[in-house]
């Protein structure tokens, strides 16, 4: 009896251990509350982790490259990125939750509500929380917008004979193809469609003018179905690209073999931001938090401005020399700011659904 009882005890302990192990996080992650950690603890934890893995934050986007380089130089933390759309980022967080590989992402404002509803993000408010406007941050820091950009044209003067457009009305009168990116799952493409709604008399509550315009472009064979990527810009595959200001300027600066005209459309331009989100299952949570901390620091905010983005922190002043090299603030004075995350999410979903139902069929004819 004694031996049997001892065997049972050992067996029960083994089963209990397996149950407890099953309740923990996977792939070496640990459960942490980043908002309860001191900055010193976050720095120490990040250095111990030694690496941060991002999605949708490539070097060429908003000058992320300089930020990652400085993060590595200052803290010794290595970095790698996989570029993808906002929807793809969140899907990867969810699909990899049992074996996570990604720590931090950058998603459009319209995708922030979905990230919380699905339980895919964790909070970190950073020490700069009070200098970030309320519209640019979620509860407990589950998302924080570090920068905004404006709808911008990048026109390749060497591959088209039409004059460079300064408005959507000019685009309508042109003959070149237009590249606006992924409208189904990408925040950039959806914002570009919304910009045309404003250009032709509509807005967030009336998308019909936008879809009349894009149906016309589709029937004329003028919509380029490829994405707006640096590689395609450099290869001369994009005649007129429409993207955020920081991307347009980076693409121009990194493509010396073509002559470009870059400008904000005078009749329809959106001002919106992308939000950093920390994966709820991040394998390197401290490194992700430290990355966000650095992004909101003075250095991080100025790095974004160098790339043509507009820093979110209210106490940051963009040096004039940076404005001279990018866009003057007066250029986007009439752009429409998008600050309501819920409304933007709703209109983004409408745009995606209508694009799939009304525009894609016309492009396939």
Q: What is the pTM of this model?
A: 0.77
The predicted-structure confidence for 109-138, as pLDDT tens digits, reads as follows 989 999 999 999 999 999 999 999 999 999
Q: Which domains does the chain have, with CATH numbers?
A: 33-148+273-325 (3.40.190.10), 149-268+336-363 (3.40.190.10)
Helical spans, DSSP H, in 200-244: 208-219, 230-234
pLDDT score recorded for residue 117: 96
DSSP letter at 137 equals B
271 φ/ψ angles, rounded to the nearest 5 degrees:
-110, 115
Nearest to 138 by CA among 152, 126, 150: 126
Residues 290-323 pLDDT 10s = 999 999 999 999 999 998 898 999 899 888 899 8
Give one word for 261, left, alpha or beta, with left for phi > 0 and alpha for psi -120 to 50: beta
Q: Quote the tokens at residue 72.
A: 């590595």
Q: Average pLDDT over the chain, rounded to whole? A: 90
> What separation, in Å, do the N-terminal and C-terminal C-alpha atoms of the chain show?
81
Q: What is the DSSP letter of 179?
A: E
Q: List pLDDT tens digits, range 262-292.
A: 999 999 999 999 999 999 999 999 999 999 9
């Amino acid at each position: 009896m004694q031996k049997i009882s001892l065997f049972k005890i050992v067996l029960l302990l083994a089963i209990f251990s397996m149950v407890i192990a099953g309740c923990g996080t996977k792939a070496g992650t640990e459960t942490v509350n980043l908002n309860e950690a001191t900055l010193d603890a976050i720095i120490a934890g990040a250095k111990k982790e030694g690496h941060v893995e991002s999605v949708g934050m490539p070097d060429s986007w908003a000058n992320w490259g300089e930020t990652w380089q400085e993060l590595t130089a200052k803290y010794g933390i290595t970095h790698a990125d996989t570029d993808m759309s906002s929807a793809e980022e969140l899907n990867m967080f969810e699909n990899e939750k049992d074996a996570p590989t990604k720590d931090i992402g950058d998603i459009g404002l319209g995708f922030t509500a979905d990230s919380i509803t699905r339980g895919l993000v964790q909070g970190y408010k950073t020490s700069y929380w009070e200098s970030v406007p309320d519209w640019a941050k979620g509860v407990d820091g589950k998302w924080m917008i570090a920068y905004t950009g404006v709808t911008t044209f990048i026109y390749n003067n060497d591959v088209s004979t039409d004059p460079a457009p300064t408005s959507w009305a000019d685009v309508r009168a042109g003959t070149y193809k237009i590249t606006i990116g992924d409208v189904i799952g990408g925040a950039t493409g959806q914002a570009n469609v919304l910009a045309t709604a404003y250009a032709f008399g509509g807005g967030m509550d009336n998308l019909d003018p936008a879809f009349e315009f894009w149906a016309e472009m589709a029937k004329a064979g003028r919509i380029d179905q490829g994405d707006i990527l640096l590689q395609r810009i450099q290869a001369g595959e994009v005649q007129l690209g429409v993207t955020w200001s920081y991307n347009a300027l980076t693409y121009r600066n990194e493509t010396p073999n073509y002559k470009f005209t870059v400008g904000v459309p005078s009749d329809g331009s959106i001002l919106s931001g992308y939000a950093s989100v920390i994966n709820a299952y991040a394998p390197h949570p401290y490194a992700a938090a430290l990355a966000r901390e650095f992004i909101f620091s003075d250095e991080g905010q100025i790095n974004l401005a160098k790339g043509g983005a507009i820093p979110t922190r209210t106490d940051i002043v963009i040096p004039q020399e940076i404005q001279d090299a990018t866009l003057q603030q007066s250029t986007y004075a009439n752009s429409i700011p998008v600050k309501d995350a819920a409304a933007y999410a709703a209109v983004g979903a409408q745009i995606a659904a209508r694009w799939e139902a009304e525009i894609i069929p016309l492009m396939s004819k």
